[in-house]
Chain A
Amino acid sequence: MESDSISHTSPPSASNCKDISRKKRVGTSLSCFHFHFRFLIFFIDVLFFVVDFQRSAKLKQCKLDARREQWLSQSAVKNKVCCKEGTNDGDSKQTQRGERDRSLENFEMRGTAEANGEVENVSVQHESDSESFPPNSHTSSSLLGGMDSGTSFTNSSSSSTSSGGCCSGSITEEEGGDGCLDDWEAVADALAADDDKQELDPNENNKENLCLGSTPGLEPNPQLGSNGEGSDLKNSEPECPRMVQRATGTCRAWRADDTFRPQTLPNLSKQRSFPATDRRFGQGGVSWMRNSAFSVPSSCPICYEDLDFTDSSFLPCLCGFRLCLFCHKRILEEDGRCPGCRKPYENDPVEAEASVQGGSLTTRLLARSCSMIARS
């Protein structure tokens, strides 16, 4: 397998880079990079919100789900490999951290040492990475976006020479490729979901996979031709996974629990719509249940007090007449007939429902209903 060989060959190259870059590591530039990436993501969010406004959410969701499953299965296959990697480097989390650091250092090192050309390559890699995510139905639009990004990118490369910041280059790159960003985010989501199960390392493998799949993709080649740095790109190819890891792993704007996600982003709801799809279905079930419970009364028809959740899930009579537990108890004390159908309350539903309330009430109700039945 291609990816296997890559994953085996990548640790030495990464460690080499680590040795080199450890000398050049600067804490401030790291934090600066983080900040820039946050800003980048914010910018992306805004653009994405504007551009993708008209896109059908359902289609997207279906696609994302399918892709997510695909990746999950891929990662399951890759589990073996990642285990090997983990054993090589000791603790898997340590490995992850090390890889991240290395990738960051790599990025910095290259950004400072080789200036813009290398940075461009890196961002091309990113682009190709994100470009590969859209499925076939998506390619036309993403290709268009990619073309746009390509032009804007070449423009920005000249501008970035003056500004000299690696982040500025990547900002324009991401900015142009906004069409693909939802997929990029979807990848992040899928991987975040994957994180918990597979101890982070499968992510790496996933990304390697993705990156490998994307490097011979459609978009980067014209890019390379325009930039004329194809050889550099080929050299940096093994480090592509690291870069992607950097993008989606270290600088991922949100984790699985979303605690690091900036809450003030304008399209937060849209962002959340991806991980929230499952949740929404769950809530839908609850709301449906609530609706069915409240469709008849929102408050007790006897005492007009609002029905709480216990009351609304309390169905004492088969006729469907709902009332609060207090009124039900009161009726059992005196009349024992359902206000809706005027039939005597059955013993069983009372028992079943009241057992939810627990303890004394259950026994009391049971005693009362038994006495009712004994009397009648």
Chain B
Amino acid sequence: MMIGGGRSSSSSSTATAAGGTWVSTTSVSASGKRIQREMSELNADPPPHCSAAPKGDNLFHWVATIIGPPGTPYQGGIFFLDIAFPSDYPFQPPKVVFKTRIYHCNVDAAGNLSLDILKDSWSPALTISKVLTAIRSIFSNPDPYSPLTSGVARLYLADKAKHDEIASEWTLRFAK
């Protein structure tokens, strides 16, 4: 709370310094409040096998971890994600990036995700908790039809066993 307060004030000052209008200034503080509330709710009731917390004292910059769900090639892996909240956060989706290498058709080599709710289907009603749950669900159910890495998607469709073998190998190598 103390951290968040400091951050929101500083970010609002930067917004005004950058020539932000009245709306953007209030939206920064509003998003700060929203993020704080999400943080407290996440601590109170975290989604299974997920965790998220601000990185350092920047309320708008979080680190999240997702433990690979059992029954998948990612089982047992701990995947770190970097979450960057935009200043108009609830109205714009957070930017989520995998910091841990993962062999997944919806995650590219830089860790970017192709997740609809983080792009066009984003809703201000969604929270980080729901986003993490959604990310965890694509561990179990990859979407090879809207891939970021077409090679992985092709392999997933053609030879799932081979795909799973490589994925579990990557998990063992990078996520454990």
* B34 and A302 contact, CB distance less than 8 A: yes
Cα(A284)–Cα(B124), bound, Å: 34
On whether A304 and B37 interact (CB within 8 A), knowing A330-B91, A335-B91, the answer reads yes
* B90 and A303 contact, CB distance less than 8 A: yes
- Interface SS, A side: loop
Q: Which residues of chain B are within 8 angstroms of A326 by Cβ–Cβ distance?
A: 30
CB distance from A296 to the nearest CB of B (A): 11
Identify the closest chain A residue to B125 (Cβ): A339
The number of inter-chain residue pairs (CB within 8 angstroms) is: 41
User: Pick the contact of B34 from A304, A321, A331, A340 — CB < 8 Å?
Assistant: A304
CB distance from A3 to the nearest CB of B (A): 69
Cα(A274)–Cα(B22), bound, Å: 53
The reply to whether the CB of B33 lies closer than 8 angstroms to some CB of chain A is yes
The reply to whether the CB of B121 lies closer than 8 angstroms to some CB of chain A is yes
The reply to whether the CB of A334 lies closer than 8 angstroms to some CB of chain B is yes
* A339 and B123 contact, CB distance less than 8 A: yes
The reply to whether the CB of B27 lies closer than 8 angstroms to some CB of chain A is yes
* B124 and A331 contact, CB distance less than 8 A: yes
The reply to whether the CB of A199 lies closer than 8 angstroms to some CB of chain B is no
Count residues of chain A with CB under 8 A from any CB of chain B.
17
Q: Which residues of chain A are within 8 angstroms of B125 by Cβ–Cβ distance?
A: 301-302, 321, 339-340
Q: Which residues of chain B are within 8 angstroms of A337 by Cβ–Cβ distance?
A: 123
* A339 and B124 contact, CB distance less than 8 A: yes
The reply to whether the CB of A305 lies closer than 8 angstroms to some CB of chain B is yes
Known: A301-B124, A327-B90, A327-B91. 13 other contacts (CB 8 A): A302-B90, A302-B91, A302-B125, A303-B30, A303-B34, A303-B90, A304-B37, A321-B125, A330-B23, A331-B91, A334-B92, A339-B125, A340-B123
Residues of chain B at the chain A interface (Cβ within 8 Å)? 23, 27, 30-31, 33-34, 37, 88, 90-92, 121, 123-126
